[in-house]
Structure 1
Amino acid sequence: MPDGAMMRNVEESGYKYLGVLEVDGIKHDQMKDQVKKEYTRRVRNILKSKLNGGNIISAINSRAVSVVRYGAGIIKWTKNELEEMDRKTRKLMTMYGAQHPKADVDRLYLKRYDGGRGLLGVEDCVQAEVNSLDKYLRASEENMLKEVNISSILENKKHGQSREDIQKSHKERYENKGLHGQFHKATEKVKSNKSWDWLRKGYLKKETESTIIAAQDQALCTANLRKRVYGEDIDSSCRVCGNAEETVAHVVSECQKLAQKEYKEVRHDNVAKVIHWKLCEKWGFEKSDKWYTHKPEKVLESDECKILWDFPIQTDKTLEHNRPDITVIEKNSKTCLLIDPACPFDTRIERKEEEKCNNYCDLKYEIARMWRMKEVEVIPVVVGALGSVTKDFEKWIQKLDLGITAEMIQKPCLLGTARIIRKVLDMK
């Protein structure tokens, strides 16, 4: 050095320049070992945490995948090495209850807006970064970069794809699968984009989220799946009622023996409880701090409003359907709302909405006549057992004027469904 100081020789282990280990060139093998070790450590620590399902995925994407992203396009990863890291991630997620072992892999990497889990795959990340780096170098006007032999830097260019192409590929593969794609094909025409609000918010526990996703993927170990797909020599009838094939649809919404207790008390009544809780808030009645600790009273009345909970309406003539879940009488405006939630299987949500409206037609006219109401309206609040809502769902919710959103109704429904699944299939 000019001042006479001596520079130390570079050790064989190399030195780090901008976080990348080098000597006379990049030490790819050592860097890959370090990255893999650190990536796995971070994923494991995140999965051990108490974060909810959505935050678990966000943390992996930002905290763990960023370790790999930094050297993408510089470190020479092989396709097999990247695939192995993704497999390791899925194994860890399964170990910690964040992913069902038989759930669809492509759906795991789909955006939550499209009904996926939103995980950023290591291979996908590297492909996208290589693609972006390639575009940047080719478009650069800097003299130094123009002199660079781009093909020698981007040796993995053949693996580079844009983020849009990667998402499109995952979506097409998922939707075209015979088993895992059944739910999407069966509900595509009846559900709205609001059906994925519970996924976008990501507030369910990772175990609950993975259970619901596995149910949608037809991946749960039902007797029907074991016999028809796995080829086991067993009786495929329902283990609870024994009267029908034990499919996911049957377990979550069609079993007669589960109807009166599990379907009603664990799921249906909790959906209705959210609405009743919000009605109490609107009209100034006493309520608990949280909806799940709320205990609806049969009759609540003030000078302005009267709310009936699961109360039979006495009419001059006998009606088959005279017991809506919630009846709201607004005294000043002389209007009445008949609110009736339902949680059928997702393929039947449109039919259930229509059925609810038709069932209470006679009661609606009787109430208008007897109580001298100016307007009586039936409000069907229908959410599928696995979270789907119809295209008219938003319209019905807005008529309640309670500030309720789709995910507020989906949450108690999905929590109830997950509880039913675990009980029937002995899932832990």
Structure 2
Amino acid sequence: MNPLSRALNRCSYGYQLKSGTTSTTVAHTFYMDDLKLFAETKEKLQLLLQLVSTFSNDIYMEFGIDKCRLVNLHRGKVLDADSFRINEREEIRCMVEGESYKYLGFLQLKGIHHTVIKKELQGRFLHRVNSILNSLLSAGNKIKAINTFAVPLLTYSFGVVKWTKTDLEAIERALRVSLTKYRSHHPKSATERVTLPRIEGGIGVTDIQALCVSQIQQLRQYFRESQNRHDIYRTVCRADHGSSALHLAQEEYQLNCDLKTVEEKVASWKQKELHGTHPHQLEQAQIDKVASNTWLVRGELFSETESFMVAIQDRVVATKNYRRYILHENIEDRCRKCNLVGESIEHVVAGCQALAEIAYLGRHNAVAKIVHQQLALKHDLVNQYVPCYKYLPDPVLENSCIKLYWDREIITDVLIRANRPDIVVYDKRMKRATIIDIAVPLDRNLQSTFSTKITKYHDLAEELKQMWQLEEVRIVPVIISATGIVPCTLLRSLDELELRRELPNIQKAVILGTCNTVRRFLNHHN
């Protein structure tokens, strides 16, 4: 196609595009096999068509004449005209006011039909979004699919179609409605989390307003920096006083969007009374923020589970406390299970006595089973890995080097009350023992729980050292928040056990246990 383009550029039959004292001749635009011809008169257009026809015949290229159209414009108005005959058998029909044709994906006539195109693009975008959300993909893969399959429909139009701030806000609002409809976003969760990156605690949907502004800025930069390359760029930049979405004639132009950086979104999230509790926890010195958001970055959970965990972190789950003090319902706020204290989300997650022996213990044991099985595999005490929910630890596993205890009371010479840790690893060759105890407390109790565990098993460690004639006894608490927040102490403990790679599995087990507990609790009626 390049030889044809050069031949059209060399001819003098094009349209004179003028801006002030400068002008340039535009004979055609070419994109792949889509060709558009421009001429000042019907006679010149005939000459351009003859040139194209001769070239096409020489290379045996055929045109889809049925797709070709002619537009006759005079001072911005569409005039009626006769069809344009190519030869005895073929002709190009002339369009009239109100018609449109599609060129490079956009409906246009004397200009682009912005309103029609925006409505069509929004409909196609939401159709793709709904199809993705209705699939069986994991939560993370659904967001990736939206960002790579649905959002590009809009990206292609940014800088060409005139999108307003209101238009873009409407699309983002419709997207959140779809996420809520398919249970991928709780309607009361912080809206900032929708477009925040997953590493920051969000769900990672592309910020459409920011993408639009970025696209416009890049296109403007390209055109304005290309003015010295060709007269057409210079003429177009001078002539574009709002004719396109780029407003090239203006030195500085910004789309009217109140954009927020990632830092500003996080700050806005933290300022909210309920929603802000979780991001404040992530900013604590003793918390590893990156590790705490591992479950979001991996995106392995079902959408409903992920959105429910986000709602729990945002404190917007419909407990009695939330319904009474936030929704202002006239109800009693005592816990429906224990009837002792107010039914807050913290109470449900890790504070209700009625749930301790079954729900909390099951979540605790899921973490303990992961640690126990990995230690057993590491020391060749078991031969095959099984999922933690199928794993049934033996009270004692032993070989010539290692003895591994599971939830077993250790008999000592003196009375020690805390003599039943979750796991004990006895290394016979190294004359060393490791006491491992698991806990899944509330966010605010992570530090105190760790200290309590160290103190609790201090006497047992000293007694074991004497009884078993050991050189060293370590106490390694494995503490993770009930909402998946990871303290730095957990990373150090996993490093001591050489089990850092198991952090995602431990975090996943805790989150699944918490979501299951809260769901069952809310489904229970007094």
Whether TM exceeds 0.5 here: the answer is yes
Cross-structure match for 2:122? 36
**Residue 416 in 1 paired to residue 416 in 2?**
no
- Is structure 2 residue 348 aligned with structure 1 residue 251? yes
Amino acid at match of 2:93: N
Q: In the TM superposition, what is the alpha-carbon distance from 1:161 to its structure 2 partner?
A: 7.3
* CA displacement at 1:151 relative to structure 2: 5.6
Cα 1:297–1:23 change in 2 (3 A) is same
| Counterpart residue number, 1:184 | 279
RCO higher in structure (CA 8 A, sep ≥6):
1
Report the alpha carbon displacement of residue 289 of structure 1 after superposing the two structures with TM: 3.0
The CA distance in 1 between the partners of 2:257 and 2:327, in whole Å, is 37
CA distance in 2, matches of 1:387, 1:146: 57
Q: Does 1:277 align with 2:373?
A: yes
CA 281–146 in structure 1, closer or farther in 2 if over 3 Å, else same: farther
Answer 1 or 2: which has greater strand percent: 2
1:110 to 185, 188, 196: 196
1:309 offset after TM fit, Å? Answer: 0.6
Q: CA deviation at 1:32?
A: 1.1
- Name segments (4+ residues, structure 1) moved above 6 Å: none
Deviation, structure 1 residue 187? 4.8
Q: Distance in 2 between matches of 1:44 and 1:373?
A: 62
Report what 2:267 is aligned to: 172
- What SS does structure 2 have at the residue aligned with 1:8? strand
With over 3 angstroms needed to count, the CA separation of the structure-2 counterparts of 1:135 and 1:379, relative to structure 1, is farther
- Greater helix proportion: 1
Could you tell me which residue of structure 2 aligns to residue 364 of structure 1?
461
Contact 1:277 1:287 in 2 (8 A): no
Once the two structures are overlaid, the 10-residue window that deviates more, 35-44 or 330-339, is 330-339
Paired with 2:522 and 2:140, the residues of 1 have a C-alpha distance of 25
Question: Cα offset for 1:121?
Answer: 3.5
Shift of 1:246: 0.8
Amino acid at match of 1:423: R
Mean alpha-carbon deviation: is it higher for 75-84 or for 269-278?
Answer: 75-84
C-alpha distance after superposition, 1:195-220 (max 9, x if no partner): 11111111111111101100111111
Which amino acid in the other structure matches residue 145 of structure 1?
Answer: Y
Aligned-pair identity in percent equals 33
| Residue 138 of structure 1, CA deviation | 4.1
| CA shift for structure 1 position 405 | 3.7
Cα separation, 2, equivalents of 1:283 and 1:120: 45
Q: Which runs of 5+ in 2 are unaligned?
A: 1-48, 54-85, 248-252
Alpha-carbon distance change, 132 to 245 in structure 1, aligned in 2, over 3 angstroms: farther
Q: Please say if 1:9 is aligned against 2:57.
A: no
Shift of 1:421: 0.7
Letter in 2 for 1:94: T
Output the TM-score relative to the length of structure 2.
0.77
1:221 aligned partner: 318
CA shift in 2, pair 1:123/1:10, >3 Å: farther
Q: 1:403 to 1:187 in 2, by over 3 A?
A: closer
Q: Distance in 2 between matches of 1:288 and 1:9?
A: 71
Equivalences, count: 424
Q: Identify the match of residue 402 of structure 2 among 290, 305, 329.
A: 305
CA RMSD of aligned residues (A): 2.0
Question: Is this contact kept in 2: 1:276–1:296, CA < 8 A?
Answer: yes
Q: CA deviation at 1:106?
A: 1.0
SS of match in other structure, 2:389: helix
Instruction: Give the Å deviation of 1:19.
Output: 2.2
Q: CA deviation at 1:82?
A: 1.7
